[in-house]
Chains A and B, each alone.
Chain A
Amino acid sequence: MKRILLILIINVLTFTSCDSFLDELPDNRTTIDTKGEISKLLVSAYPSSAHYCLMCEIASDNVDDYLGENSLYSYIFPKQIAYWEDITTSNNEDPGRVWYTYYHAIAAANEALESIKNMGDTEELQAYKGEALLCRAYCHFCLVNVFCRNFSPKTSKTDLGIPYMMKPESTLEPHYERGTVEDVYNKIEADLEAGLPLLDDAIYSVPKYHFNRKAAYAFASRFYLFHLDYDNVIKYANMCLGNNPSSMMRDYSTWKNITRDFSLYAQDYVKDTHSCNLMLGAGMSVGGKYFGNYSTWKRFCIQKETTIAEIFNGRMPWGDSYSLEPTGTDYGYPASIVFTYTSGYTVTPKIPYYFECTDPVANTGYYRAVFPLFEAEEVLMNRAEAYAMKGEYDAAVEDMLTWQEKHIVGGIKLTRSNINNFYNNIEYYEPLGKETEISGVTVRLTPSIKKVLSPDFEYQKGEQENMIQCILQIRRLNSVFEGLRWFDIKRWGIEIDRRLINEQGKIESVVARLPVGDPRRAFQIPEDVIEAGLTANPR
């Protein structure tokens, strides 16, 4: 009996040591417990797969419908986006992928924050904490602007927000509440303000792919602009741009040294060495093809007529359109960089096309692209808009002028008066252009660049509107292919007409319209997500 007892005792002893025996990790997965690991984890706290850019660009007023269903490039996905339908097809850049990509980055940020907390939240970890908070704030900011209505002092208290993730998800099938847009903005602001002072550029080996200080200020200026807090916009824009904003503008003169090749220009556009590029994002995107000289999805793109009227070649405050061909010496915007092709679409080298080949024999792999996420020009325009909203028109014009000097070759120098003159003297945009009688013949003018603004906040007609109109146009030119135009449309309550372009490249009719206040201005959250139980956007 004693022997049995002994055996039992041995067994009990082994049992107690079992739990630690089983604590061994099953594979080479990493646990986050050093500074270095946190820094590497934060590399994935940025969206790395689908960006909002493509979706938002197609939904905006930059694109029109070439030939409609007769187009050879009738893919369902871009069509559903362009017509603001709920997306039922899958694509690498569909709302589901965007949703997942941004939340995946948030998960990494939260995991990092959790680890920082577990490691004692020490002094040396503060810079990483700052980065994680910025990442978390930025990703939620993108999501709330894509999937919710824009911030509005009137309705944000009740508009559906998105779940704001403050810690890593740990259960299989949790259910979330969406909260309100205001909630989300408040939480973004809290993270942003907490994170900003902690940032330290010295921790980054590739600063332009991280929230370096300038990028963070740029984000802050965009955030406060959307949040209608103009003093903060100016404050952070100042911090970002410093005393000499002009030096941070894109320098097209370097393009003289580049062989005239679309892809080389595009690759140069997203180089991290340019001071205008504050932050870049690599992604899995067909953008390089769609925004390049390929037939991909070209049913919906910047059509010839649109670009002539509203984008690169429209009548602008600084004058009429300029030569589309490079002059050889003058490299400016839009003169040398707009490529228009015979079938009617316009592209500009901005989003480079890369192909990550995973199987060279079958030639299959992933489309890759790099998107400029923050540029100095946008920050400058954020500040200009804030000045304009505060009635400081001189300051606003000065910023516009800074931009004009670097981007427009020749033309009339912008001043308060010629901006006012220009906008006072043109008609508001009509989708098919205004019919006018010239010398007894009825002609149709191209639609103007001046769109009716119906935001949820107050602004004055007259000079304030004129300033805003000009700033919005610069923003539109500057952010083409980046998707930011969609947010401006939402913020400023601009109606969009989706127009049919005929074989001659002419606007034929309006096929669909997205009125101000339409719930479709918030993309429907992904089908799978709704099915899984999250509240859908109203339709």
Chain B
Amino acid sequence: MKQNTKKSFKLCILFIFVCILNLSAMTSAQNTRINLEVKNSKLRDVIWKLDNTTSLNFFYNTKELEGIIIEDENFKNTLLSDVIKTLLKDTKLEYSLIHNTVVIRKTPNSNQISQQKERVITGTIKDENGATLPGVNVIIKGTALGKASDINGKYKISIPTDKKVILVFSFIGMKKKEIVVNKQSVINVVLISTSETIDEVVVTGITSTDKRLFTGAADKLQAKDIKMSGIPEIGRSLEGRSAGVSVQNVSGTFGTAPKIRVRGATSIYGNSKPLWVVDGVPLEDVVELSPDDLSSGDASTLISSAISGLNPDDIESFQILKDGSATSIYGAKAMAGVIVITTKKGRSGVSRISYSSDFTMRLVPRYSEFNIMNSQDQMGVYQEMEQKGWLKMAELTNSSSYGVYGKMYQLINSYNNETGQFGLRNTPESKTAYLQKAEFRNTDWFDVLFKNSISQSHAISMSGGNKKSRYYASLSALIDPGWSVSNKVNRYTANINASYNIFKNLDMNIITNGSFRKQTVPGTLSQTTDEVNGSVKRDFDINPYSYAMNSSRTLHPNEYYRSNYAPFNILNELKNNYIDLKVSDVKFQSEIKYKPISGMEVSVLGAVRYQNSVREHHTKDNSNQAMAYRSMPNFIIQNNNPLLYKDPDKPYDLPMTILPEGGIYTRNENQLTSYNFRTVLRYNKTIKDNNIINFNGGMEITSTERQSSWFNGWGMQYEQGEIPYYTYQIFKKGVEENNSYYGLYNTTSRNTAFFANLTYSWRAIYNLSGTIRYEGSNKLGKSRSARWLPTWNISGSWNVYNESFFEQFMPTFSHLTLKASYSLTADSGPSYVTNSSAVIRSGIPWRPTTSVKETNLYISQLENSSLTYEKKHELNIGASLGFLDDKINLEADWYSRKNYDLIGIINVEGVGGENSKWGNVAEMESNGLELSLSTKNIITPNFSWTSSIVYSHIHNKITKLHGSKRIIDLITNNGFGLENYPVRSIFSYRFKGLDKSGFPTVVNRNGDITSTDIYFQSRSTDYLKYEGPSDPTDMGSIGNIFNYKGFKLNVFITYSWGNVVRLRPIFKYGYTDLTAMTSEFKNRWIQSGDENITNIPVILSSRQYSENYDIRYGYNAYNYCDLRIAKGDFVRMKEISLTYNLPSKFLHNMKVNSCSIKLQASNLFLIYADKKLNGQDPEFINSGGVATPIPKQFTLSLHIGL
């Protein structure tokens, strides 16, 4: 039986090729004349030689040629057909020539056939999308007789009439179909492609393994199954799809990476992000960002996603490698898991052109989702503030920022010469009228700053192939006019993947990828932590989302108020202060595969990738940020404006502006050049049918060069033809303050690795596999012993379902595989710890005057000769089970990890010059459970319903970590780890109620209850309350797919729980008339006694504040107390989509193979979330800058295949 399938497989291939060659043959090969001398050679060798030296292709069954020896023949300038005829003369073989393909086969017993009565069956073969399939093998079951379908998918076959005939239709990648022939003479067939067929292989990027022999925990996801329309970045669609993989959309802005974790955090200070491998080549990030950086909203996050240059339509599949058995082939890079992306390739005999497009509309957020005060309530609070002395005319008119009150005072003060009137009369009536107008304004900032624009994406791809070559090429364009008024992105990608079969045993594959992105986002500076006051802040933040959340609804959208001592209007600012980002990314890759002997393959892969991103921050002349640098309308402001420059050499002069004209042009450029070279030797052998041996071994060299540079162009006159105008003081100030106006930073990371993997299997029932990798990195210094690290794994699996005794349980119990692995993998730790040799950097030490300045070199990190990789031991135990003939499938994995040699900080004796040092001193452990259940609930020809449930639980704990972080790092949204707590934990001050004056009180480091004596830089932490981890502990998804005829309904729900979220820090010692408050303020402390009924602190009077400025610490501590925390649990309606595949009959007339329309709603609503969040998305970290949440959106998709 086995022999038979092999044979038919070969024949099948043969027919495909014959068919193709029918079409493409151009020369009349049979006229070729050749010279050939044969002496006592095997017929097989002679044919092989002919195959290689002529343009003809030969097809034959090796077995049939076995043992035939050609003794002595000498051809001179003989017709090729004659040569073959002579060679086959005394054999039982015949040949036929179809164009330039010679098919050699056994002479059939002619008597048998001719005596039988025959009839002809014809038909058309199509795939499920209605596309015709050429080259499909059609065989009469039980014989070797068969035909292949032609270019139009039509076939014609003669069958004997005297017995029952079964036709077998088979094609690579399609499910085999058998049809019993009755009376009919036309049999049309639809073949269904099987993802299972592709599933049979586990792709590790470096190699691929038969799934039955695979021993690790891995998940394969087909891009078409998980792709979410309207989300141009494919990484985000992994959310909830694979057990153990968490995707947290900390920002939804295009280009920012979501926080992806495979089995949770693997490092304390490192970034714990998985390794992306695309078509076998590890993808490096152009900037290395820590998890905190990812959620910072800084402009650098826009280039944090390594895969944002990939067109989702080009991706065939994801393979997520979770445990060490698969990842250890990547050794010291794979501690945090590996996600292997395989892009689409052309297939032999399938010519396709397909077009797909998405049209996405995003919903504008509404105030009703949040608990922000309307303008009436807000005005009420302002009135209280006014009474409390905050909004006084004299102070407000000279303050750095103001809203309606300040505007009112300004109007009162401004006298118009022409009309002879003041902007506003200084009478109680006119003031009341002015404020009343504001009271009823209820500006909808979301309406002002967001729009329902349609984002489009279009992708077109062509693919095709024949025996010699295959190709896939695509182009795509994403045109997104932006959700908010200041966001815009266009991305174009191109991809070519071509393979050529040079010789029978030599294949070559080339891949070229390119993408270009042009993006505009609101101008932003970097986020900073003010550890003194205990707050995280960003200067000049104009992020539309946070502006809408934080700005008073009493403001008029077209009016100019004041910010940073200069006039401010958000729409004007967004127009005049923005970042242009251009990213281009190209990759060239080639692989040559050579098979010297049967079962052995040597492959050589080389890839070069270059990415360049240019970020230009335009702060134009009329922007508030530029004007703030020259705002000095009066003496008081001139003295107070911190952006003005006081020349230390002219102590009697008033502060002056360093930006008298123009704006600021800031340019950041990041470049990445990476080289990857790998050779792999593969050897597969089956000994005595039962013993399967697979060997992979090879070496890899990678080199990644990163360059970042920046430049600050002061005085760019955007309005004056882009001519720079600057003062020399800009440089003087820079020198005095140790600020450079440009910078350059180069890094090179180099790796070399040797790896080998050996798998032994007995009849694919018992599998044993081991991998070892020996890796060296330049990061670990010149010490030749420290830089090399061996990583390894040992694993095994037992395919119980292949055992003979298992048959008795079938089909109720249809599948059972048990797996276990134990491994060591590693990671080189946070990118800034590289002190295997002393790190000496250059700087400019502070000196009082420029005359005594000099540059220096200083030891930034002392040598740590024992610096090594962060390491992880992992035990994984898994099972996959199938019930009811695989109608129910369950994959379960349990793992336990011990991470050691993690980078942490320790205090040392300090004698070397550092009090605390980074070193491999920390440890953590984690364990988790992963379950994936997929069920085929109802399968009928017209209707089907399938479900999938994914659940994973992750638990981790730091078991060893000396040295502690500052309080401020532990209480904010990202949290941080302490020994015996999870890696990312959030802590809180303990709230002790309001005191008699309505001030919030918390417990401080001395155990006192206080509103003032709070020190955010303290490192003692025992008095804080542990709230929980900031990363969820449980997560997953529930998906249901319903198919009815051409309709497909997909309902996909994601969920996660177990983490805590810090509520927005909205409380302050004082507020301005720009502040938008939440409705919590309605319950604030107003009069004595209220402390018994409310926990919302009083709005301070300006006198109370000036009596004790330290009260501001109390208000900040209140923001970070145990009241201001919510559970991060949520259930999200992630996707509802309805797809309609147009019926093929209808399409056939239009010469279209397939056509589908899909309507999808994404992120519609949260089914459950903690009420305390009041509309705050538990996944999204609202850090301003360029961060925006994932919007609610509707997408219409169209797909046409020709």
Contact = CB atoms under 8 A, between A and B. Distances in A.
A510 interface: no
Contacts of A354: 848
Contacts of A154: none
Contacts of B752: 18, 21-22
B815 to A, nearest CB: 38
Interface string B898-921: 000000001111111111110111
Interface stretch (B8-16, B156-164, B863-871): B863-871
A267 interface: yes
A44 B845 contact: yes
Given A40-B856, A280-B852, 14 more contacts: A3-B596, A26-B747, A27-B834, A29-B840, A30-B840, A48-B845, A111-B840, A172-B866, A176-B911, A206-B853, A270-B848, A272-B852, A282-B848, A529-B910
B270 to A, nearest CB: 16
Contacts, number: 234
Interface residues of B, number: 80
A172 B530 contact: no
A457 interface: no
A50 B600 CA distance: 67
Nearest to B400: A361
A361 B643 contact: yes
Interface stretch (B772-780, B1112-1120, B1151-1159): B772-780
B969 to A, nearest CB: 15
A359 interface: yes
B750 A169 contact: no
A172 B838 CA distance: 12
Given A171-B865, A360-B642, A533 B909 contact: yes
Contacts of B744: 28
Given A103-B911, A168-B862, A18 B776 contact: yes
Contacts of A270: 848
B681 interface: yes
Contacts of B859: 44, 104, 107-108, 111, 168
Nearest to A48: B845
Interface of B: 528, 530, 532, 537, 539, 564, 596, 600, 602, 642-643, 651-652, 679, 681, 698-699, 701, 737-738, 744-752, 754, 776-779, 782, 784, 787, 834, 838-842, 845-848, 851-860, 862-867, 906-917, 919-921, 1017, 1019
A32 B848 contact: no
A31 B840 contact: yes
A22 B750 contact: yes
Interface in A345-378: 352, 354, 356-357, 359-364, 366, 368, 370
Given A40-B842, A171-B864, A356-B738, A14 B528 contact: no
Contacts of A23: 778, 782
Interface string A210-242: 000000000000000000000000000000000
From B701, B752, B840, name the one whose CB has the most chain A CB atoms within 10 angstroms: B840
Given A11-B679, A362-B530, A28 B906 contact: no
Nearest to A97: B915
B834 A170 contact: no
27 contacts: A15-B699, A18-B776, A22-B778, A24-B748, A27-B748, A28-B745, A28-B746, A29-B860, A30-B841, A40-B855, A43-B858, A90-B1019, A100-B913, A100-B914, A171-B866, A173-B906, A264-B651, A270-B848, A282-B846, A356-B737, A360-B643, A362-B537, A362-B539, A526-B910, A528-B915, A529-B907, A529-B910
A496 interface: no
Contacts of B865: 170-172
Given A30-B840, A176-B909, A354-B848, A361 B596 contact: no
Interface residues of A, number: 84
A1 to B, nearest CB: 9
Contacts of B866: 171-172
A96 interface: yes
Contacts of B602: 3, 7
Contacts of B909: 163, 174-176, 529, 532-534
A119 to B, nearest CB: 15
A24 B750 contact: yes
A458 interface: no
Contact of B845 (A282, A359, A528): A282
B834 A107 contact: no
Interface of A: 3-4, 7, 10-11, 14-15, 18-19, 21-32, 37, 40-41, 43-44, 48, 90, 96, 99-100, 103-108, 111, 162-163, 165, 168-176, 205-206, 208-209, 259, 261, 263-264, 267, 270, 272, 280, 282, 284, 352, 354, 356-357, 359-364, 366, 368, 370, 526, 528-529, 531-534
Nearest to B628: A361
Given A25-B778, A29-B841, A209 B847 contact: yes
A173 B855 contact: no
A342 B813 CA distance: 94
A241 B664 CA distance: 53
A205 B750 contact: no
A366 B737 CA distance: 11
A174 B865 CA distance: 11
From B846, B909, B914, name the one whose CB has the most chain A CB atoms within 10 angstroms: B909
B526 to A, nearest CB: 11
B676 to A, nearest CB: 14
Contacts of A280: 852
A259 B652 CA distance: 10
Nearest to A27: B747
Contacts of A532: 906-910
Given A28-B746, A172-B866, A11 B858 contact: no
Contacts of A169: 862-863, 911-913
B863 A168 contact: yes
A326 B650 CA distance: 24
A209 B856 CA distance: 12
A100 B914 CA distance: 6
B856 A43 contact: yes
Contact of B745 (A27, A32, A529): A27
B532 A364 contact: yes
B979 to A, nearest CB: 15
Nearest to B776: A22
Question: Which 6 A-B pairs give the minimum distances between C-beta atoms?
Answer: A169-B912, A107-B913, A43-B856, A104-B913, A44-B858, A172-B919
B907 A528 contact: yes
A176 to B, nearest CB: 5
B846 A7 contact: no
Contacts of B737: 356-357
Contacts of A99: 910, 915
Given A43-B845, A99-B910, A526-B910, A26 B778 contact: yes
Contacts of A284: 846
A134 to B, nearest CB: 17
A45 to B, nearest CB: 9
A356 B846 contact: yes
Contacts of B596: 3-4
Contacts of B857: 30, 32, 37, 40-41, 43-44
A28 B707 CA distance: 10
A364 B642 CA distance: 11
Given A31-B840, A272-B852, A526 B845 contact: no
A534 B911 contact: yes
A215 to B, nearest CB: 14
A28 B857 CA distance: 12
Contacts of B863: 168-171
A103 B912 contact: yes
A172 B917 contact: yes
Contact of A361 (B564, B846, B914): B564
B245 to A, nearest CB: 30
Given A24-B778, A111-B840, A352-B848, A100 B907 contact: no
B919 A26 contact: no
B848 A368 contact: yes
Contacts of A175: 909
